[in-house]
Structure 1
Amino acid sequence: MAERSSAPLRGPGGDGRRAGYAAPWVIDALLGTAVALALALLVATGSGGAKPPDVIAYLFAAGFGALMLLRRRTPRTVLVLSVLGMFAYYTLDYPPIGVAVPVLPALFSAAEAGLMLWSTGAAFVVFGVSLFFRVYDGGEAIGFLLGYESVSNTALFAAAIALGYSVRSRRLRAAQQAEIARLTEAQLEREAELRMQSERERISRELHDTIGHTMSVISLQAGVGAEAVGQDDRAVSDALGRIRSASTRSLRELRSMVRILRSTSDRDETRSIQSLSAVQELVDAARAAGVEVTTDITAIPLDLSAPVDAAAYRVVQESITNVIRHAGATHAQVKVGIHDGRVHISVIDNGRGTASDDGATGGYGMAGMSERVRLLGGTLTTRSFPGAGFAVEATIPASLP
């Protein structure tokens, strides 16, 4: 059973190591071999002890090395067995091999696994027990034991624990950086998706505005032409000419919109299909439909941000479309001016004084315009004068920050 105090740290590769690094089991096997050889050398060259080195003594060395194969999966168990094994070795009175060397790899492994309390506690236990028995045996001077011996062992314990903690910190930092990179990439993808969705919504509104207005004009002119067939050939010809002009203009706007989608810089293209400079075409279409329109436009498109210019044009277009289709009006007045850094737009007619479902009260028409104006930091309001007209008024910052 795994005894790690925390989940294994994984690098960017997802398997706990980076490309080009040796497999963990290979590193552990090499570490175990080095530990076993070092302890075997100390056993063979050590002096003292009541018993000379034998097979069991070397088995202890091999056992300490073999524990390194389990240090990643069960670091706590490896630490406990290393400490107990070291005590057992000295209990059998074999030649001394030092109290630090057999447990240093286990202390390092426990600290690397995040078991700081276990590694620190084990170091204190080993230090305290070894110091007690060496003082108890009385074979060495107290000053030597408390001075050189204690300092050297303490330094080795501290170095092993610090190195393990450092390795863990480095791996944790690498894992965190990889996770941050993953989350950042995911966030960028979500932002890109949101931008795409926003662009789709914008295009949908543009298509509705363009096609809706043109279809209204075409439908009205087709009705005029149908009524004049066989009675007034000139009126039929004029109606067909207006239908052709409206459809041509609509196709031109659609082509321009496609060019915008393919262009990396869309300011000039945007103005070419949706700008206050094109309001006169809307006015001509309304007059051809029998609605007299007067204009008072003092705002210059070049003084406006492109999105503001486009929004102002669309507000006027949608308002005139509703006047033609639903208001039953004979006159409309369009005003667009700039005051105190804001564009003020108003379209007032003398119709029935109610808006259609496609206009200010719902649908993709004025409701969509209201949302567009709001996103630009402005406001759009409508006022009804029952039996006496309807007004659409909008205010938008002239320049976006």
Structure 2
Amino acid sequence: MTPGDLPIFDQTDHGIKLIEEERRRIARDLHDGPAQAITNVSMRLDIVRRLMDSQPNLAAEELDRLQQRVRGLVSEVRRLIYDLRPVAIDEVGVVQATVQLCERNQHDWEIPIRVEVSDNISLNIAPARQVAIYRMIQEILNNVHKHAEATEVVVSFEQLDQNLVVRVVDNGKGFHPDSIPEGHFGIAGLKERVAFLNGELTILSAPGTGSTFEIHLPVYIGTK
């Protein structure tokens, strides 16, 4: 039985579970990023206060460094806000939104990320499904960045009959798909997201060979 065949109450419970998992991801990103950085800035400001009278030059230099750090924090918070609801999906669709995501990640992570789109692809996809597809690509890319140690990533879109096929391929260190490494929490959630959309997820990887994430989704049928 697929999620689409579940009774309405089970579907609702599953949807709530996915929402809660997304909230936990956001909380984790806030804790690991801005929250820790702000704590560090606060501690360094205490040091600056103690230096102001005895070593004003050092205090001024530290304030300059803190100012740069705060500017970086503002950019990071803006990125997290954007990730909550990427406006580009509503405006230009999932493919172009993914291009923008990859361009931003390429700049921030300093990893070449290429997007390839087949000529026959149709964008007649329900908006909610486009957001779900974007989230899955985002999760895969985050895992690649955190764990793969890749120097190149390719994201591709292809239409096969009534299915959208999304692939994310990296040349990183790879892993055993049947034994998810510690810290790869996003993969379990990714599998649930794909199953909830009646799709299929295939992960091809082995140590030293890179990884391929391939998602098949029946997005062109009954997309209302």
Interval of TM-score (by shorter of Structure 1 and Structure 2)? 0.5 to 0.7
Residue of structure 2 aligned with 1:386, choices 180, 188, 207:
207
Instruction: Give the CA deviation at 1:309.
Output: 1.6
Deviations 1:106-152 (A, max 9, x none): xxxxxxxxxxxxxxxxxxxxxxxxxxxxxxxxxxxxxxxxxxxxxxx
Give me the whole-angstrom Cα distance separating, in 2, the residues matched to 1:244 and 1:323: 24
Q: Is the 8 A contact 1:276 1:312 kept in 2?
A: no
TM, length-normalised to structure 1: 0.38
Instruction: Give the CA deviation at 1:291.
Output: 1.6
Indicate the SS of the match to 1:201: helix
TM, length-normalised to structure 2: 0.63
More helix by share: 1
Deviations 1:190-246 (A, max 9, x none): x77645533321312333455656777x48xx7xxx9xxx8xx89x94x76554333
Structure 2: unaligned runs, 5 residues or longer = 1-6, 42-60
For the pair 1:249 / 2:79, whether they are aligned, the reply is: yes
Show the 5 A alignment for 1:105-254.
Answer: 194=10, 196-208=12-24, 218=33, 237=68, 241=71, 243-254=73-84
For the pair 1:357 / 2:187, whether they are aligned, the reply is: no
Q: Is the 8 A contact 1:286 1:320 kept in 2?
A: no
- Give the counterpart letter for 1:310 in structure 2: V
For the pair 1:280 / 2:99, whether they are aligned, the reply is: yes
- Give the counterpart letter for 2:182 in structure 1: D
- 1:377 maps to 198
- 1:294 maps to 114
Identify if the C-alpha distance between structure 1 residues 195 and 335 changes in structure 2 by more than 3 Å, giving closer, same or farther.
closer
Q: How many residues align?
A: 182
Show the 5 A alignment for 1:325-336.
Answer: 325-336=146-157
Deviations 1:2-59 (A, max 9, x none): xxxxxxxxxxxxxxxxxxxxxxxxxxxxxxxxxxxxxxxxxxxxxxxxxxxxxxxxxx
Give me the whole-angstrom Cα distance separating, in 1, the residues matched to 2:147 and 2:155: 17
- Give the counterpart letter for 2:97 in structure 1: A
Q: Is the 8 A contact 1:353 1:389 kept in 2?
A: yes
Structure 1: unaligned runs, 5 residues or longer = 1-190, 258-267
Question: Highest Rg: 1 or 2?
Answer: 1
- Give the counterpart letter for 2:156 in structure 1: K
Structure of greater relative contact order (alpha carbons < 8 Å, 6+ residues apart) = 2
Indicate the SS of the match to 1:291: coil
Identify if the C-alpha distance between structure 1 residues 201 and 352 changes in structure 2 by more than 3 Å, giving closer, same or farther.
same
Identify if the C-alpha distance between structure 1 residues 281 and 338 changes in structure 2 by more than 3 Å, giving closer, same or farther.
same
Identify if the C-alpha distance between structure 1 residues 306 and 291 changes in structure 2 by more than 3 Å, giving closer, same or farther.
same
Identify if the C-alpha distance between structure 1 residues 252 and 315 changes in structure 2 by more than 3 Å, giving closer, same or farther.
closer
Give me the whole-angstrom Cα distance separating, in 1, the residues matched to 2:112 and 2:219: 28
Instruction: Give the CA deviation at 1:250.
Output: 2.0
Identity level (%): 25
- Give the counterpart letter for 2:129 in structure 1: V
Give me the whole-angstrom Cα distance separating, in 2, the residues matched to 1:384 and 1:287: 26
Give me the whole-angstrom Cα distance separating, in 1, the residues matched to 2:114 and 2:121: 18
- 1:265 maps to none
Q: Is the 8 A contact 1:293 1:332 kept in 2?
A: yes
More strand by share: 2
